Homo-oligomer: A and B are copies of this chain.
């Protein structure tokens, strides 16, 4: 496999990592339709855990089957598939080596009485299942944030020693953040920055709105042109070590149409995002529609649409 210059440049950002972690980064970056471009589209399927199975899969019943998601990610030419332990176990042998997998190591659920996450997988699980990466969610701003940071620290140290990639979902929430605050520009940028400081190789955040949430941050954004998603995304990338970390964005909270979603992706692309993590917007549609939509997203990241 001829690793492209673009991918080699990205590897250079991870200068303190061992060759094992670098090789797994390459596996992810050299897979799928976007192989070698330095851009990524990843399929995450943890909504069954987070919101319950029917809310997640009833709109498209084949998606109740774990193999459906492996297959979807492969057919769409995505870079990786991320899911909690059980779903990875349910398909890891059938699809061994067919697509890089990311083992989500913690999960929340709609029945939980606290807004925390439970650790539901381990680095050893990731190795035995052949995963290229481990995933971990943090909730900056929540009552559990500091404890989550400490859990992530321990997991990341172990994962890096074993040559795995560390992907951090950084979702601000908590008593001091209202709904608008959770996707505010300053908060998304802060969430990306904290994940980077915690040692994440790949960071996932939500596309930022133009809102500024922290009163103390307002002055810093005076004069900042937040009028377009691209400009806001560019700022988030800047906050991820001036672009030295891979940052992926979700498709947005609730997107009514494919066209709107593609508009978001165009904004992400122009802003210099590393790519997208898109879950519900794909697997809740019929497969043919999902594949078509993903092909158009990939085309955008290739600069062709």
Q: Mark A32-48, 1 if CB is under 8 A from B, else 0.
A: 00000000000000101
Q: Which of chain B's residues have a CB closer than 8 A to the CB of A95? A: 3
**A85 CB within 8 Å of chain B:** yes
Candidates B20, B111, B125, B197; contact of A176 at CB < 8 Å: B111
Q: Which 3 pairs, one residue from A and one from B, show the smallest C-beta to C-beta distance?
A: A26-B97, A23-B130, A19-B92
Determine if B120 and A19 form an interchain contact, defined as CB atoms under 8 angstroms apart.
no
Determine if A18 and B16 form an interchain contact, defined as CB atoms under 8 angstroms apart.
yes
Candidates B114, B198, B235; contact of A120 at CB < 8 Å: B198
Q: Which of chain B's residues have a CB closer than 8 A to the CB of A2? A: 74, 98
Some 27 contacts from A to B, beta carbons below 8 A apart, are A1-B74, A3-B96, A20-B127, A22-B96, A46-B197, A48-B193, A48-B197, A49-B193, A52-B186, A52-B190, A52-B214, A52-B217, A54-B224, A55-B219, A64-B241, A64-B242, A66-B244, A86-B196, A86-B241, A111-B141, A111-B145, A114-B143, A118-B145, A118-B150, A119-B149, A120-B153, A120-B198
> In which size bucket is the chain A interface?
35 or more
Q: Which of chain B's residues have a CB closer than 8 A to the CB of A55? A: 216-217, 219-220
Which of A157-165, A250-258, A263-271, A293-301 is the interface stretch? Answer: A157-165
**A82 CB within 8 Å of chain B:** no
Determine if B85 and A129 form an interchain contact, defined as CB atoms under 8 angstroms apart.
no
Interface centre among A20, A113, A141 (most CB of B within 10 A): A20
Determine if A16 and B64 form an interchain contact, defined as CB atoms under 8 angstroms apart.
no
Q: Mark A98-127, 1 if CB is under 8 A from B, else 0.
A: 110000000101111110111111101101
Determine if B197 and A120 form an interchain contact, defined as CB atoms under 8 angstroms apart.
yes
Candidates B90, B107, B122, B239; contact of A157 at CB < 8 Å: B122
Q: Mark A275-288, 1 if CB is under 8 A from B, else 0.
A: 00000000000000
Give the nearest-CB partner of A176 in chain B.
Answer: B113
A59, B55: Cα distance in complex, Å: 43
A239, B3: Cα distance in complex, Å: 28
**A189 CB within 8 Å of chain B:** yes
Determine if B97 and A25 form an interchain contact, defined as CB atoms under 8 angstroms apart.
yes
Give the nearest-CB partner of A65 in chain B.
Answer: B242
Determine if B143 and A113 form an interchain contact, defined as CB atoms under 8 angstroms apart.
yes
Determine if A96 and B19 form an interchain contact, defined as CB atoms under 8 angstroms apart.
yes
A64, B238: Cα distance in complex, Å: 6
Determine if B16 and A150 form an interchain contact, defined as CB atoms under 8 angstroms apart.
no
Candidates B51, B53, B244; contact of A90 at CB < 8 Å: B244
**A27 CB within 8 Å of chain B:** yes
Closest chain B CB from A55 CB (angstroms): 5
Give the nearest-CB partner of A55 in chain B.
Answer: B220
Closest chain B CB from A135 CB (angstroms): 14
Determine if A13 and B145 form an interchain contact, defined as CB atoms under 8 angstroms apart.
no
Closest chain B CB from A282 CB (angstroms): 17
